[in-house]
Structure 1
Amino acid sequence: MTSHDKNLSPTLSPAAELAANVAVPFNQAHAMPKSVYTSPEFLALEQERIFGRDWVCAGRAESIPEPGDYVTIELAGEPIIVLRDRDGTVRAMSNVCRHRMSTLLEGRGHVRAIVCPYHAWTYNLDGSLRGAPGMTLNEGFCKSDVKLPQVRCEVWQGWVMVSLDPDAPSPEVQLAEVAGLIAPLDMSAYRQTFGQTFRWNTNWKVLAENFMESYHLPVCHAGTIGGASKLEEMVCPEGSEAFNYHFILKDDSVPLALAHPSNTQLVGDQRRTTWLLAIYPSLLITLTPGYFWYLSLTPTEDPGQVDVMFGGGMSPEWLADPAAEAHLAKVRALLDDVNIEDKGCTEKVYRGLQSGMASPGSLSHLERPNFEFAQYLARRVAG
């Protein structure tokens, strides 16, 4: 047993263990305690105090371009519809019928109206009740009194952000520093061209941390992107209370990761810098001058599973290139292979967390973002 292990009493709650874990300088830091990943008690705190209060991403606004286009998510146990209404506004609302409380829509798609699959109560795209069959003899029923509860929803830099907390600071305010960092790239102008959802057998924080550090790239991604990133050139600056980040200077092995020749705004290293942005709690964005890809994570009721929204697209200059489709196909194939590698690595980590002999080790200087993420989690679960 290490001295670090002895300092964490088995009688401490997972939240107390995490608080002790981050109460040291970064150069003495260890990985988070196992209980933070495996404990149902800690997951319940996360659902209440993190996913029930912070802004969570429901994808890109351009992925629901037309009135009636929608996507569904679950946030801290609340089923939610995110859609574009008749006026072109992106809004969020409860995905539960106001009659007998069936969920309404599933997955993503397009509707002219929201129809309950149980009794066909029908809602307009703003959530107001349009029709309720068989209710004419109920004298106490008034259709105009019924509306799906609305949920806070804002579009920030092209991302659809949703929060259950009516008092959460706007993303425009909370993430102003992020917007300033990547201002030369104008993230709002990029366009998503592909996306999917999947579930992996690991804890959501294992996958989030995997994104936050590039220390694993040469080994976990030896078959794909590992050779294109130079760890010695990687910079991991201090983040903020709302996000962390690091950046990598890329070579020309993936042309789409570089600025398009027609782009005259980016200069010097800006033309080959890849930004890795971890926006708390769970929006993870890789942004290059040519393309982007992202993961938006939500925990399930099982600490050992995570639901993942995955997508990507290109910058305006590359989208206008005659060879854009061919370039994107290559990058999409590459990212599919990268996902396979990440799935294998992160699921192995979660299996390892079940071991009685496992204990958190010291962090590398390349894992500063992970330590800052642990500090964020400790602040949130402490209330």
Structure 2
Amino acid sequence: MNRSFVVVVKSLLKQTSFSNTQKSFIRKLTTVNSNKELFRPLPPYLYNDPTVHQLERENIFGKNWIYAGRLDRLKKLGDYLSITIAGYPIFIYRSPLTNELIAFHNVCSHRAGPIVPINLNHYGTALYGNQSLLKCHYHAWLYDSRDGSLKATPNFNHKFQPEEKKCLSLRKINFEIFAEQFIFVNLSDTKEKPSINTLLHDLLNDMAHFTHNEHHHYETQYYLLNCNWKTFVENYQEGYHVHAVHPGLDHEIKAKEYVVTNKNNIYSIHYVPSKLHHRDRNPAASVPVA
């Protein structure tokens, strides 16, 4: 099992009080081998129990850095990136007033209407667009793009006091740019957490042969996966399935030499040599397949 996920699970257990009906699975999780690593599969209900999903939503997706999108798609004033992360709608916006990026929860303080559109066709995936004002699409409440403060409430029969208006500001979100292009967000207060650039410092060296600023977004492909998110993560912890699931890829690579290296309990690197000998001369051709 991925050491990174083991650490996350153990951290989750430390932070959470479970009911008596849930304690049996804790005993299963604490079964370890000689290296003090979990070695048996997780119990099935960790993949389909709504209570567990809510705990993961709050303690994993709600408290860690999550990749949101690319900086090169937010070049113009008013450009936005709208995305829903574990049920939390958020957006990143290039302010027309400052030309700086700022991030908020995509929820109006009045009746929770969206400030920028949400991708309803592919829920949970990023939607890019342009919008000149931060104005709610429901009742047209207007917010300042510099700090999210409330500016106007059309046809609303109440004059807000300064303290009231302050409480009605959009909720800001912490974000950072990694490797000059990749936008990560953190839905929690990150004052006591390391930055994404600190956490992924070693990854910069692993990615040194890539010139990020010379690469640009080409297209987006959507896949609706009928599985729990952990199943998808576990799938990317081995290349054992390639011969059965990806015969085309298996024809091009030396699947028996597929190696997954987990770094610092944070990220994974996949390496596999190519069967196409002319490509083997280029080291970059044999680096990530996933």
Normalising to structure 1: TM-score of the pair? Answer: 0.59
Q: Structure 1 residue 56: deviation in Å? A: 0.6
CA contact (8 A) 2:91 2:106 kept: yes
Q: Could you tell me how far apart the structure 1 residues matched to 2:85 and 2:209 are?
A: 32
Q: Which has the higher contact order (CA 8 A, sep 6+)?
A: 1
CA contact (8 A) 2:149 2:165 kept: yes
2:160 aligns with 140
> 1:272 and 2:282 equivalent?
no
User: CA, structure 1 residues 177+123, in 2 after alignment: closer, same or farther (shift >3 Å)?
Assistant: same
2:182 aligns with 159
SS at match of 2:26: helix
CA contact (8 A) 2:238 2:259 kept: no
Question: How far does the alpha carbon of each residue in 1:197-222 deviate from its partner, in whole angstroms, 9 at most, with x for none?
Answer: 45322111111222332211111011
Q: Structure 1 residue 164: deviation in Å? A: 1.3
CA contact (8 A) 2:29 2:38 kept: no
Q: Flag as ranges the 4+ runs of structure 1 deviating above 6 A.
A: none
Q: Could you tell me how far apart the structure 2 residues matched to 1:15 and 1:89 are?
A: 47
1:243 aligns with 267
2:51 aligns with 41
- Name the aligned partner's letter for residue 102 of structure 1: G
User: CA, structure 1 residues 147+179, in 2 after alignment: closer, same or farther (shift >3 Å)?
Assistant: same
Q: 2:112 aligns with which of 101, 112, 124?
A: 101
1:128 aligns with 149
Which structure 2 residues correspond to residues 180-199 of structure 1 after superposition, within 5 A? Answer: 180-187=205-212, 189-199=214-224
Q: 1:220 aligns with which of 245, 248, 261?
A: 245
Greater percentage in helix: 1
1:50 aligns with 60
Q: Structure 1 residue 229: deviation in Å? A: 1.7
1:176 aligns with 201
SS at match of 2:115: coil
Q: Which runs of 5+ in 1 are unaligned?
A: 1-9, 260-267, 277-285, 287-383
2:13 aligns with none
Question: How far does the alpha carbon of each residue in 1:217-261 deviate from its partner, in whole angstroms, 9 at most, with x for none?
Answer: 111011x322112123223334322122221122449x9xx69xx
Q: Structure 1 residue 60: deviation in Å? A: 1.4
SS at match of 1:246: strand
Q: Could you tell me how far apart the structure 1 residues matched to 2:185 and 2:208 are?
A: 23
SS at match of 1:250: coil
Identity of aligned residues (%): 25
Q: Could you tell me how far apart the structure 2 residues matched to 1:273 and 1:98 are?
A: 50
